[in-house]
Amino acid sequence: MSGAGLLLPAALLLPAVAAMAGFVLGGRRAEQAALLWCAAGVALAFALLLAVLLAGAPVAYHLGGWAPPLGIALEADGLAAAMLAATALVAGGAALYARGEGGTAETRAGLTFWVMLPALWSAMAGILLGRDLFNLYVALELLTFAAVPLVALDGSRRAAEAALRYLMFALLGSVLYLLGCALLYGAHGTLDIAQLGALARPDPATLAAGALMTAGLLAKTALFPLHLWLPPAHAGAPPAVSALASALVVKGSFVLLLRLWFGALPALLTPAAGQVLAALGALAILAGSVVALREPRLKLLVAYSTVAQLGYLMLMVPLVAAGAGQAWTGGVLQAVSHAFAKAAMFLAAGSLAQALGHDRIAGLGGAARALPLSVGAFGLAGLTLMGVPPSGGFSAKWLLLTAAIETGQWWWAAVVVGGGLLTGGYLWRVLAAAGGPAAPDAPPPAPVPRRGEAVALALAVLSVLLGLLPVYALGLVRIGAP
């Protein structure tokens, strides 16, 4: 077992240790434990990324030396390494943003945040590195159970309702997923992805399992029309939580979806099924963007933008299935750059709301002068969402676009570019309002921590810079791709 392999269990277990330690120690110690882990976790994620890049092949680790199906296998391919690095940076950014907010006394909200942040990280790592559908189920549940308390963090009735709605729908998704697992296990006697990939045939049990698991995962990803829980949950939470939830949590189930279709059941993925998934994605882009175009509140607008942007991820399924390798890169790049951009947007929106005392878009006048860093971060992140070069979003959309054209599925090309236009429309609303003059009766903006604004800006800049290194990312993301 090489030293690089040890990075995998470390990425999975150390954040769990940090969460436990924080829970036991309590108070400010929880914050310190979480921040300590964040620093270590960023280094660890990039070490893993480098290891995968240098090896040019997926890095694997078998817990206790037992090979699957008996033991638990962990494996980091390009997708996992890239997403883990994104997780590290986004979660680290959210932690920096939230640092010191709670004061010195232990509060329920503070403790929950600092315990659940590393727990969520650990669950993400489990999803990214796991190679067994049941272990992945466990990680997915952990992710939900880490995210729900975070959504309910501020203790208000609205937040509790949103969290409950989220929990109920996520559990519905879990049930469907678990049902599918049971069917697969009954039919094939294994839940290991690699083994299933060799065994799975389109028999009724496997087909039903595929449909059920997919629907369950889509419910957890909040793909339109299964998005009812996302807007209230993401818009009602504190900024750091919204950033984590919108940037990372919904991507967990999406990665699982990719593992399911391109790892475990590739033989089942008919062209029609790919088209159904992408059609739901296209609907998500349209519906999410149109609602965002008319949404009067900033945080809800950003949440609906997530609904729309998740749609882009689905477009990669029929394109990859048709053999366009660049669509895989494009989809993963979209997931990563959206993670940075959306985290930046929620953090910037949080700073704006804190300074202005409200988040009505109509009342944003004068914000560009008062908080240039936050508005700048919002605008830069918007460039990525729109797909303006040289941002990561541009590279992602370019790859999806050429993949759609080369595989003859021009209708998805139309969706990609039309979605960019709608995105530009709703971002324009925000930026035009923020660039306008302040209302004469508006109170002067309250001071907000510069650090929070800087974190948002840094994440936004990252999302733009991603477009400048697609080549190196390209090589990485292709490692272990179907």
Which residues contact other proteins (rule: CB under 8 A)? 169, 172, 176, 202, 207-208, 210-212, 214-215, 218-219, 224-228, 231, 268-270, 272-273, 275-276, 280, 286-287, 290-291, 293-294, 386, 388-390, 397-398, 401-402, 405-406, 413, 417, 420-421, 424, 428, 432, 435-437, 471
- DSSP category for residue 201: -
Least distance CB 89 / other proteins (angstroms): 23
Provide the token pair at 311: 């749609």
What are the residues facing 392 on neighbouring strands? none
Residue type (1 letter), 437: P
For other proteins, the closer CB: 195 or 402 = 402
Least distance CB 5 / other proteins (angstroms): 29
- DSSP category for residue 73: E
Least distance CB 402 / other proteins (angstroms): 5
Least distance CB 206 / other proteins (angstroms): 9
For other proteins, the closer CB: 210 or 331 = 210
Q: Where are the beta strands (DSSP E) in 97-150?
A: none
Least distance CB 428 / other proteins (angstroms): 7
For other proteins, the closer CB: 97 or 412 = 412
Least distance CB 99 / other proteins (angstroms): 26
Q: 250 and 140 in contact (C-beta within 8 Å)?
A: no
Q: 392 and 463 in contact (C-beta within 8 Å)?
A: yes
What does the alpha-carbon distance between residue 191 and residue 175 come to, in Å, rounded to a whole number?
A: 16
Least distance CB 421 / other proteins (angstroms): 6
What does the alpha-carbon distance between residue 73 and residue 477 come to, in Å, rounded to a whole number?
A: 20
Residue 438 has φ and ψ, to the nearest 5°, of -70, 145
Q: 376 and 457 in contact (C-beta within 8 Å)?
A: yes
Q: How far is CA 84 from CA 9, 11, 191, in A?
A: 13, 9, 23
Q: How far is CA 22 from CA 15, 263, 376, in A?
A: 10, 36, 35
For other proteins, the closer CB: 150 or 222 = 222
For other proteins, the closer CB: 38 or 321 = 321
Provide the token pair at 246: 């919108």
- Structural Rg of the chain based on CA atoms: 21
Least distance CB 316 / other proteins (angstroms): 16
What does the alpha-carbon distance between residue 354 and residue 446 come to, in Å, rounded to a whole number?
A: 7
For other proteins, the closer CB: 239 or 376 = 376
Q: 280 and 314 in contact (C-beta within 8 Å)?
A: yes
For other proteins, the closer CB: 5 or 424 = 424
For other proteins, the closer CB: 172 or 194 = 172
Least Cα distance to 467 among 419, 379, 399 occurs for: 399
For other proteins, the closer CB: 335 or 473 = 473
Q: 341 and 460 in contact (C-beta within 8 Å)?
A: yes
Least distance CB 109 / other proteins (angstroms): 27
